[in-house]
Structure 1
Amino acid sequence: MRIFLETGRLALLPATAADASDLLALDNDPAVMRYINGGRPTSAEDIRDRTLPRLLHDHPCTGTRGYWIVRKKDTGEFLGWFELRPLDDRDPAAAELGYRLVRAAWGRGYATEGARALIDKAFTDLGVRRVTANTMAVNTGSRRVMEKAGLSLLRACTEDWPEPIEGSEHGEVEYGLTREAWQHRR
């Protein structure tokens, strides 16, 4: 399998149907899904019919996928996935950064390492001008990753969600980084 991006410890690879069982286990950990769906379980059908098609989608404007499976470079161990996908399939100018890692990978710097590498690739190779990332306001772990990766808080908002989960009453936050700000920090 062709590696999309490598860091010191991580390999980001295109997803395949063979990743379904790892994705199912990831999405069935209530702690991993706490800020996504309140920790509810995910079915194998949902992985097959919704998750895999999203992860397998190629974006014409960048010529790449928008999601990558992340594995430890030295062992091949599945750690989760990263997202850097254009908000519009026809225009790479704005891309959304995201990540979902197995609980055993939390607190080890993997999310920050992968996020920084994707941001660098976005601005150097993919034609991206602005990277954004969103999370629930109460998700302090994810917010810290965004900050350590160089993104700044842009706004906070509250909305009425069809299926509110614990903490959603505090709203969501959006972080961002422009290519110009990224170049200035280098």
Structure 2
Amino acid sequence: MIFETENLLVRRLIFDDLQGFHKLESNPKVLLYATGTVKTLPENKNELKQLILKYNNPLNNFWIYAIIRKSDNEFVGTVALVKDNLDDEIGYRFLEAYWGLGYGSEICKGLVTYCKEIGLKKIIGYVVDVNSASAKILKNNSFKVVNKFISEGNKLPETKYELHL
């Protein structure tokens, strides 16, 4: 386990996560404001294998973990921690069935605590401006706006948020 919150636990991805991972990464609504494109099951199987292999690489700086609901051990999404020592970035995605349940707020608070525990001094998050729910979560966790720009990937207005820990 990497960390836990009241209702969720964050752990390394495992091969048994493939069905949930594929459901997440093949849903155009989940990926609407995120980088990445909808992938096939074989593509997601390969990506999952690559992400799992990264756990053993001491030079890895791109960590994706599974979010599991404690009450039933269900895969509900993923969290990301991209460490580059300049702008350490957090992110999270949830299966559509789990939207609107407060898990985004809960996992963000957990990520902030975890990042403090591992000694990060500052974390950032990027949100496409029309994704008001994600922007609200960052603002409610004391993230501050540091930059507004047009995203290169999806050509939408985006905001960079920052939190000093």
Regarding TM over 0.5, the answer is yes
Counterpart Cα distance in 1 of 2:101 and 2:159: 23
Select which of 106, 120, 123 maps to 1:131.
123
Question: In the alignment, which residue of structure 2 is the partner of 1:115?
Answer: 108
Instruction: Establish whether residue 145 from structure 1 lines up as the match of residue 137 from structure 2.
Output: yes
Residue 50 of structure 1 deviates from its aligned partner by 3.2
Relative to structure 2, which stretch is displaced further, 95-104 or 46-55? 46-55
Q: Partners in 2 of 1:94 and 1:33 — Cα distance?
A: 22
Please give the secondary structure, in 1, of the residue aligned with 2:32.
helix
* Change over 3 Å in CA distance of 1:177–1:55 after alignment to 2: farther
Change (3 A) 1:177 1:134: same
Identity over aligned pairs, percent: 21
Q: Secondary structure at the match of 1:150?
A: coil
Q: Which residue does 1:5 correspond to in 2? A: 3
TM-score, normalised relative to structure 1: 0.77
Distance change (3 Å), C-alpha of 1:6 and 1:159 = closer
Using the alignment, how far apart are the partners of 1:20 and 1:120 within structure 2?
Answer: 28
| Residues 146 and 160, structure 2, Cα contact 8 Å, conserved in 1 | yes
Which of 1 and 2 has higher RCO (CA within 8 Å, sep 6+)? 2
Number of residue equivalences: 164
Partner of residue 27, structure 1:
25
Task: Kindly name which structure, 1 or 2, has the bigger radius of gyration based on alpha carbons.
Answer: 1
Unpaired runs of at least 5, structure 2: none
8 Å CA contact 2:22–2:45 kept in 1: the answer is no
Mapped to 2, the partners of 1:154 and 1:17 lie a distance apart of 38
Looking at structure 1, the residues matched to 23 and 62 of structure 2 have their Cα atoms a distance apart, in angstroms, of 22
Whether the 8 Å CA contact 1:94–1:129 is kept in 2: the answer is: no
Q: CA deviation at 1:133?
A: 0.5
Matches within 5 A, 1:36-185: 36=34, 41-54=38-51, 56-58=53-55, 60=58, 66-86=63-83, 88=84, 91=85, 94-123=87-116, 125-161=117-153, 164=154, 168=155, 170-179=156-165
Give 3-state SS (helix, strand or coil) of 2:124's partner. Answer: strand
Alpha-carbon shift at residue 65 of structure 1 (Å): 7.1
Is the CA contact 1:55–1:65 (under 8 Å) kept in the aligned structure 2?
no
RMSD (Å), alpha carbons: 2.5
